[in-house]
Structure 1
């Protein structure tokens, strides 16, 4: 039962990141009108540095796909973790309205990382 829950949650998690990454390339989700000014200031460097937004989008797409596939889920969790930290920090410092979903996504990412800790052990050996 636990594996089924992890599978369903992982597919939803991966699809969310796949969607977010694709949106960075195709801009099919409009930016809300009521974004706080301090959040717009944070997003400005992403728009001005031409390679940063596509790189983030590409990592979200790759990480999302890896997260969906059970065999590569451990790698997907590692790829997405730095992005997830950025999402949580942005929601902590600039705009707390997205904090509940950010914390849920962080918890899912941490859960998968913990479930796969044996796969990471060789990387941590001397």
Structure 2
């Protein structure tokens, strides 16, 4: 249902470029036809690509999330399973008590006066 993103020529260019890099370097990946998935530890991925990693025990995942907490804007999990995470589809709909980067905006502004 998302193939229409390929109609955007800049996205298509990124997709084609990233796919060619993966193929030339023989990097294992999964290609949906419009999105590329590859196993990498890097938290930031290029446009048209998603990095993922696997874990054997949940504690390993929690350790990994703790290590990248300072670099993470928000965490999304099924049903908001992990502390401080948002359910899928809710990451861009913060509540009144949800502060950007964990900083209370009003408290921050008042401290600057």
Is TM (by shorter chain) over 0.5? no
TM norm structure 2: 0.31
TM norm structure 1: 0.29
Higher RCO structure (Cα 8 Å, ≥6 apart): 1
Per residue, is there more strand in 1 or in 2? 2
Larger Rg: 2
